[in-house]
Structure 1
Amino acid sequence: MSKIQERADPASSNGVPRHERAAGPVAPPRVSARRRRPGVIALSLALMAAGGAGVAVLLLQVGNRTDVVTVVRDIQVGQVLTAADLGKASIALDPAVKAVRADDLRSVVGKRAAVELKPGSLLAPSQVTRDSLVKAGEQLVPIGLEPKQIPATALVPGQRVQLVHVPAQGTADAGKSSDAAPQTFDGRVVKASGAAPGTGIVVVDVATSASDGPTVVAWEATDTLRLILSAPDGR
């Protein structure tokens, strides 16, 4: 074999290929360390703290729940409450909201609704009463009021009123001296309806003494009855 062939032939004289030289160790790439900015670190810590505080508040709100009594049916004024009229709910109750606790549900069963109650509402202690809205010795008189006769102040159960007789024009009573005080009776609102469609008339159930009831009915029949609100102390 010539020297030229020997240089060109990659194999050794025994037919085994020559081993390539082993490569040396490869140095890892350099990673430049980033400088951490103090402002970024502070912002990250603040966000972490705020998130932790939010979770803590949420857990407190979820855990601080109160079992209260709710209304599940329409209940009219004066209606006696039954267990079927009431339900229970667990809510995060604001301390300013007065509601009957679920543990006291039995204490309100058998009482009367002092106001009209709607399904889905919380039951407040002031919305029930043990007293009958029409007491012994009283009568309930319905009074229809036209829109111009309805006080701007809402009529609510328990409100004190005066029933005033206003003689019709052209009658003998209307000719009496103008300085004579009109005849009046005391009453108490038991319930006031909504305004009737078309006419706007509101019907007010008024409790008055049994001795005054027939006279009040006569005034109502002749449209000579007017209703005025009394002072809170009844004077």
Structure 2
Amino acid sequence: MIALSMGLIAAGGAGVAVLLLQVGHRTEVVTVVRDVQVGQVLTEQDLGKASIALDPAMKAVSVDDLDQVVGKRAAVELRPGSLLAPSQVTKHSLVKAGEQLVPIGLKPEQIPATTLVPGQKVQLVHVPAQGESETDKPSDSSPKTLTGRVVKTSSAAPGTGVVVVDVATSAADGPTAAAWLSAGTLRLVLAAPDGR
């Protein structure tokens, strides 16, 4: 019995030692040390290092890969004190060749309850201005639409609550969208998740 008890105590001690080693294992990861806007190129001054006990389920950029993220663009807005994940950076420009950026101001009642995020597909819809006659159009005709992609969304402006959404459209559609916006006849609609 004494020998059995001693064996159990030894086994328990070994288990505790292994657990402490696992908990004490720390990983060197990349952190964000200052605000980085969507599309901004990352520099070494934007990033820091930290040694943490990292949950295997969490994805963070290793310090060994720091050189691989410097010079890439932020795919989302980055905040100081957060860990940098691989999915938060991209080597691609958020506005591609052949596209134009259209800033669209949305009043509080026009902002979708669903959070607008970079890369999200949207439709720019032309709606008749107040008092505009639609008598020449067939009653079953669909409104004109343009496709776009969210690049960045601002915070709500103090007082007015207006949110500005930067939308990338084709170069051919950019002037049309700007004209609709100027006339107050443009509305932004979320596209289906699969883009159809």
Q: TM-score, normalised by structure 1?
A: 0.75
Q: Distance in 1 between matches of 2:105 and 2:147?
A: 17
Partner of 2:163: 202
| Within-5 A mapping of 1:48-59 | 57-59=19-21
- C-alpha displacement at 1:196, in angstroms? 1.5
Q: Unaligned regions of 5+ residues in structure 1, if any? A: 1-41
Q: Distance in 1 between matches of 2:52 and 2:142?
A: 55
- C-alpha displacement at 1:195, in angstroms? 1.4
Is the 8 Å Cα contact of residues 167 and 174 (structure 1) preserved in structure 2?
no
| Within-5 A mapping of 1:1-235 | 57-62=19-24, 64-173=25-134, 176-235=137-196
Q: Distance in 2 between matches of 1:100 and 1:156?
A: 22
Give me the CA root mean square deviation: 2.2
Q: Distance in 2 between matches of 1:185 and 1:174?
A: 23
- C-alpha displacement at 1:205, in angstroms? 0.3
Secondary structure of the corresponding residue to residue 171 of structure 1: coil
AA at the equivalent of 1:202: V
Structure with the larger RCO, 1 or 2 (CA within 8 Å, 6+ apart): 2
- Greater strand content: 2
Runs of 4+, deviation exceeding 4 Å: 46-56
133 and 201 in structure 1: CA distance in 2 versus 1, 3 angstrom threshold: same
- C-alpha displacement at 1:54, in angstroms? 5.5
Is the 8 Å Cα contact of residues 160 and 234 (structure 1) preserved in structure 2?
yes
AA at the equivalent of 2:141: A
- C-alpha displacement at 1:230, in angstroms? 0.8
214 and 61 in structure 1: CA distance in 2 versus 1, 3 angstrom threshold: same
173 and 131 in structure 1: CA distance in 2 versus 1, 3 angstrom threshold: farther
What CA deviation, in whole Å up to 9, does each residue of 1:132-181 have, x standing for no partner?
A: 00111111000011111111110000000000000112113476333111
**Count of residues in correspondence between the two structures:** 192
Higher Cα Rg: structure 1 or 2? 1
Partner of 1:14: none
- C-alpha displacement at 1:53, in angstroms? 5.9
